DNA sequence: TTGATGATTCTATAATCATGGAAATATGGA
DNA sequence: TCCATATTTCCATGATTATAGAATCATCAA
């Protein structure tokens, strides 16, 4: 995962409403939830939710699919997986610290050791 | 880890200069680096760096200790560990998804299963 | 004390982000 | 077609964040 993409994802999650949306979607994975359901559960105005969904979508954290008049949003687990991988690979001690070493290899996509 | 703290940490990392500072400090853990060394390595003006260091510090991601005229900044690994724990616990699928299940138990600080 | 250096704070400015009402754009059913 | 509903876009407003020069504060050496 590239630096810039990590920042985009971090920024997408670093906002109360968006984090709440994402967590809610994770609870309802993998089907996801319609925008109207999200708005109702979180008490967000349509326009506000749409703005945040666009941010999450742009960051690659959620996907959407249309079903009739509804648009279902679902979390993209791979994005979160890559973020966690980025953090453990680049932002944790590589020398026996607490957060890095136990990281499992999920996909072969992370760099060896250097920062 | 509380929701609000997670957002604070995510926001602290979701900025190019700050992420660069943090990664640089991780490379130099556990001693850390003096502010002047960080500024030089990253090409940041003093005032700008100081602003970002304060953000990181406020988020609990870095600690500082004075040594003569120098102030050394070092990464706080526990904060990153807790963030990764928060993400895997609350933002990953709990039902066999890719990012959650292999998470080791580092400290007994995370909630059982619910979100 | 004085001077040099490291670091932070003050301050102003610019840029970005969040909010939400209102209007516009689908979609499907009658 | 016409209507109701789901969702997004438009737009204005307010709030927050990033930047960095200049001033200030802190520490040490002579």
- Residues B62-93 pLDDT 10s: 999 999 999 999 999 999 999 999 999 988 87
Res A63 pLDDT > 60: yes
Span CA (B1) to C1' (D11), Å: 38
Structure tokens at A35: 């925008």
**pLDDT of res. A96:** 56
A97 at interface of B, judged by CB pairs closer than 8 A: yes
**pLDDT of res. A90:** 87
On whether residue B9 sits in a domain, the answer given is yes
Tell me the average pLDDT across A86-100: 74
Range of the domain at A102: 1-115
**pLDDT of res. B108:** 44
Q: Of the candidates B23, B107, B19, B33, which has an alpha carbon nearest to the alpha carbon of residue B63?
A: B33
CA distance A2 to A102: 22
- Strand C atom within 7 Å of B47 CB: yes
On whether residue B86 sits in a domain, the answer given is no
Q: Which CATH number belongs to the domain containing residue B36 in this structure?
A: 1.10.10.10
- Strand C atom within 7 Å of B54 CB: yes
User: For B50, what's the count of Cα atoms within 13 Å in the CB-facing half-sphere?
Assistant: 5
**pLDDT of res. A113:** 43
On whether residue B115 sits in a domain, the answer given is no
Query: For chain A, what is the domain count?
Result: 1
Structure tokens at A59: 């960051």
Q: Give the 3-state secondary structure of chain B.
A: CCHHHHHHHHHHHCCHHHHHHHHHHHHCCCCCEEHHHHHHHHCCCHHHHHHHHHHHHHCCCEEEEEECCEEEEEECHHHHHHHHHHHHHHCCCCCCCCCCCCCCCCCCCCCCCCC
Q: Of the candidates A2, A27, A14, which has an alpha carbon nearest to the alpha carbon of residue A82?
A: A2
On whether residue B38 sits in a domain, the answer given is yes
CA distance B12 to B56: 6
Mean pLDDT, each 10-residue run in order, chain B (115 residues): 96 98 96 97 98 98 97 97 93 65 47 43
For residue B18, the chain A residue with the least C-alpha distance is A7
Tell me the average pLDDT across A74-93: 92
On whether residue B103 sits in a domain, the answer given is no
Which residues of chain A neighbour B110 with C-beta distances below 8 Å? none
């Amino acid at each position: 995962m590239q630096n810039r993409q990590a920042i985009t994802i971090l920024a997408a999650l670093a906002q109360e409403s968006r984090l709440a949306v994402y967590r809610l979607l994770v609870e309802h994975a993998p089907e996801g939830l319609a925008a109207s359901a999200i708005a109702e559960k979180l008490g967000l105005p349509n326009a506000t939710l749409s703005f945040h969904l666009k941010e999450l979508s742009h960051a690659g954290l959620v996907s959407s699919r249309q079903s009739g008049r509804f648009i279902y949003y679902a979390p993209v687990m791979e994005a979160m997986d890559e973020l966690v991988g980025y953090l453990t690979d680049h932002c944790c001690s590589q020398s026996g610290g607490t957060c890095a070493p136990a990281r499992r290899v999920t996909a072969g996509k992370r760099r060896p050791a250097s920062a």
